[in-house]
Amino acid sequence: MKHLSHLRNELDLVSKELIFLLAKRKDLTKQIAEVKKEKNIPIDDPSREQTQIQFIRRLAIENGLDSDVVQKLFEIFINYCKEEMKQP
């Protein structure tokens, strides 16, 4: 049986990885924004966002997670990134 402290350490590592991946995702959205600005493409892309939400929901279900909860989390992060993309 694992000790509580070991499990908490593992949880901390997962949290660290999540933050790292969110930062990486945000960086990629900044790069996408730069390309869109160069090519005069609108930042908002509802079709792409809908495709991403469907993809995320499917992944959530495949991994035993509540797809509604995961969708809400991603929508919050997507909106945050879109606001960042609009900054000069």
**pLDDT value of position 18:** 97
**pLDDT value of position 82:** 86
Tokens of 13: 């590592």
Low-confidence residues of the chain: pLDDT under 70: 1, 88
CB under 8 Å to 29, separation ≥6 — which residues?
A: 81, 82, 84, 85
Tell me the C-alpha distance between 12 and 2, whole Å.
15
**pLDDT value of position 48:** 93
Nearest to 73 by CA among 21, 7, 27: 21
Phi/psi at 32 (nearest 5 deg)?
-65, -40
Q: Which fold does the domain 4-85 belong to in CATH?
A: Chorismate Mutase Domain, subunit A (1.20.59)
This prediction has a pTM of 0.83
